[in-house]
Chains A and B, each alone.
Chain A
């Protein structure tokens, strides 16, 4: 199906992703996935009162850099609204960032989702 690049007739961002709960940004290496993820999350948090979490699998600090933070860990951390406002990104909603730390996430998830010792491999 042939479609034009985004223009006046292309549905806006809100229409394209507005009702979704999970947006997974992927692509070849170096195409700007992290910046786009951060920007998409910020744009939605700026234009709606939604609580938006941006989650990176990249252990490098690219997402933190993109959000003007010194670092991001496995626990979700709120991106300071004041800092975003100073940078010209006033938020209506809330923006939270986290990084996938393999060990802690893995342990935590299975501990939470497999509630009995037997399923967790205990006796």
Chain B
């Protein structure tokens, strides 16, 4: 069993009849070890394990570590994404041309994206100079260069996705230097019928006419009527959220139409075609 002391007062080891212990586990009794966690030691080990940074690397004072922890310790996953993007962005052909003209990142959900994109800056507060410092500077400069990098928020015309999109938007604008690209309002459903068409559909559904229509068509029109009503209802229910999103966003909102197909190349083609249409 490992008992972990986190306030570094040494009380825990003492209570177990052992002098104060340090960052390495010490066996104090049979099957019982104690370790005292010190934030800076912990962070040094964290860097050593995940970043292979030698433990003699100078860190800022302890206050910096606390700031760092308070703003969200960037785990390997956080640095991983932004590090990979930076690596690919930096790659050059033998003639010095960039390997990629554009990198499109299918990233994480709203709640995780900012810790990832700001991971380099968070770490930079702790690392003074050196090679790691310049690497972090490079990553941070790439992320915050509005001419190079943009964060495109994607939403649906529904309550929660719009609320989260606006929350992320405000967070980016108010607390980061990250540039925002267009916001994509995905799966929008344009009105599929005019008022006259809707009136016609309702007449078709009317019991007075339904039987006659069924005789002519050889089948009922229930499915058609339900489809038109559903599309209309979805369109109406999404409009307030779409309007709210457009009103609050500081960037253009690009409506991407719903493609009623299984995910695949056909869907991608249809969405891409709608985007090309915007251009």
Residues of A near any B CB (own CB < 8 A)? 1-6, 10-17, 19-44, 46-47, 50-58, 62-63, 65-68, 83-84, 87-89, 93, 96, 100, 102, 105-106, 108-110, 112-115, 118-121
B268 touches A20 (CB 8 A): no
How many contacts between A and B, using CB within 8 angstroms?
286
B253 within 8 A of A: yes
Known: A36-B154, A66-B268. A54 touches B99 (CB 8 A): no
How does the 8 Å CB contact mask read for B191-230 relative to A, with 1 for contact and 0 for none? 0000000000000000000000000000000000000000
B85 touches A55 (CB 8 A): yes
Question: What are the 4 A-B residue pairs with the smallest beta carbon separation, nearest first?
Answer: A27-B154, A68-B265, A121-B52, A12-B279
B246 touches A4 (CB 8 A): yes
Q: What is the interface of chain A mostly: helix, strand, loop, or mixed?
A: mixed
Pull 7 A–B residue pairs with CB atoms less than 8 Å apart, ordered by A.
A5-B242, A17-B102, A28-B109, A39-B256, A66-B267, A68-B265, A68-B268
B-side interface size class:
35 or more
Most A CB within 10 A of own CB, among B48, B102, B103, B150: B102
Chain B residue nearest to A52 (CB atoms) is B102
- Bound: A65/B152 CA distance, A: 22
- Bound: A113/B136 CA distance, A: 11
Contacts of A120 in B (CB 8 A): 52
A11 touches B155 (CB 8 A): no
B77 touches A21 (CB 8 A): no
B20 within 8 A of A: no
Known: A26-B153, A31-B161. A43 touches B275 (CB 8 A): yes
- Bound: A106/B272 CA distance, A: 32
Query: Taking the nearest CB of chain A, how far is it from the CB of B149, in angstroms?
Result: 4
- Which one of B11-19, B23-31, B32-40, B179-187 contacts A? B179-187
Query: Taking the nearest CB of chain B, how far is it from the CB of A95, in angstroms?
Result: 10
How does the 8 Å CB contact mask read for B39-79 relative to A, with 1 for contact and 0 for none? 00000000010011110000000000000000000001100
B264 touches A27 (CB 8 A): no
B263 touches A66 (CB 8 A): yes
Most B CB within 10 A of own CB, among A32, A46, A118: A32
B254 touches A62 (CB 8 A): no
A53 touches B102 (CB 8 A): yes
A12 touches B131 (CB 8 A): no
Known: A27-B161, A55-B85, A108-B87. 19 other contacts (CB 8 A): A3-B249, A13-B182, A21-B101, A22-B89, A22-B103, A24-B85, A24-B150, A27-B155, A31-B155, A31-B187, A40-B152, A42-B272, A46-B276, A52-B100, A53-B104, A56-B106, A67-B268, A100-B80, A109-B87
